[in-house]
Structures are given as structure tokens and as C-alpha cells.
Amino acid sequence: MNPFQNEQRRTPIGLFIYLLISKLLLFILLNLLFVLTSIPLFTLPQSIYSLNKSISYILSGGEESIIKVYFKAFKMDVLYSFCVGLLSIIILSGLGYAAFFYYLNSEQWYYLFLFFLLVILFLISYSIFMYSYLMLISVKLPLKSILKNAIILTFSFPKESIVGTVGSLSVLVLGALYFPYSTPFLLLLVFSISCFISSFFCLSVIQKNIILRRQ
């Protein structure tokens, strides 16, 4: 039985706040596991996969030990998650660096225009990779199909994509901007809360439009 079944009458924001508060200790535990398993940077893609899988498990009302869920997921879909992770790091880093460069030279109007253009491309790319990871943990598809569907969902469901992307990314950006003062929050909450936001608002899109249509 889903323990959140009695919460279905809540508004989405009410349910979001309820889960955020009631599962806070689990989010802290997951954040610590994510940080520890990401220390060798080459495991970062798989850590992202495990974190998404664990958050999804919490949202589904699962009762198994979240530590077991995390490390079980850490051994799954290694090749796909590494490919998506590597691709996302390369593209997002490149767009972010280019946007920062044009921001520093934004006294000229065309550099400012390029800055805003790159920011939009960065947000779209972030949304695509966000959906890609959420599909990796939800449905078995070839990597090409996952990326293709992620692009389609990003543009077909703009409200969910924008809320999930901006909310998730804002937590990460705030944590980075206020470093080193934000170190305790980076260690305890930033990554798991960022993942929770994207999962809460975007997993249902995948459930309704990818998984159910394949059944």
C-alpha cells in the first residue's frame, strides 16, 4: 500500500512540502551517500543515477532500506548512465563556460545577446539530461530513444520542464555561489533536494507519456 495514498487530496505544492519535511532525514542520508560515492569523479554519472533511483523509490512509497536501494542502483545501467553523464558534463560545462565568458564581456549588446542565448540553451540541455536520467531509472529503452524522448518531453511539457529544471538547477547554483559557506548544505541536502525537485515534477510526465503508452 502506498503510504502517500491519503495525501492525494493535497495540492501539488502541499504534497511537495509534506514529502520534503517528512522525508528530510532520508534526503540527508542520500546526499551523504551521493557525496561519498562521487569522490572518485569518474563515478559521478553512476552516483547521479543512484540518487535519482533512490528518490524515485521514496516517491513511490517503497519501504526497503534506502541504503540498499542506493547501492543496488549503483550497479545498474552503468554504461548508459556513464554515457549520459559524460555527455551532460561536456555539453553543460561548455555552455556554462561560454555563457560566463560572454557575461564578462556583456558591455557590448551582441555579447549580451549571446549570453542570454547560451543561458537558454543551457537550460534546455539541462532539462534534456534531467529527463534522460529519469527515463534511465524508469524504463528500458535504447540510449538513442532515451535522448530522443527526453528532447520531445522537454518541449512538449514546458510547464513541468521549466519548474523541474529551474527548481533543481537553482538549488545547485545557490550551493555553488555561496561556497564555502554553503559547505554543510552541500554535504547534507543540496544534491538530494535538487534531485527531489526534478523527480517530483517530471517523473509523472514520463509515467504518463512513456511508460503507460508502452504497456
The DSSP H or E segment spanning 116 is helix 109-136
Q: Which pLDDT does position 2 carry in this prediction?
A: 43
Residue with cell 549580451: 112
Give the SS3 label for residue 179: coil
* Residues 152, 144 contacting (CB under 8 angstroms): no
CA distance 215 to 205: 15
Name the residue among 42, 19, 3 with its Cα closest to residue 203.
19
Q: Which residues contact 8 (CB under 8 A, 6 or more apart)?
A: 15
Q: For residue 181, give the DSSP letter.
A: T
Single-letter amino acid, residue 202: C
* Residues 136, 81 contacting (CB under 8 angstroms): yes
CA end-to-end distance (rounded Å), the chain: 22
Q: Which pLDDT does position 212 carry in this prediction?
A: 59
What are 70's three cell numbers? 542506493
Q: Which pLDDT does position 22 carry in this prediction?
A: 92
pLDDT in tens, the chain (215 residues): 344 444 555 688 888 999 999 999 999 999 999 999 999 889 999 999 999 999 999 998 888 899 999 999 999 999 999 999 999 999 999 999 999 999 998 788 888 999 999 999 999 999 999 999 999 999 989 999 999 999 999 999 999 999 999 999 999 999 999 999 999 999 999 999 999 999 999 999 998 888 655 44
Give the pTM.
0.90
Name the residue among 16, 27, 81, 32 with its Cα closest to residue 58.
27
Q: Which pLDDT does position 6 carry in this prediction?
A: 47
Give the SS3 label for residue 197: helix
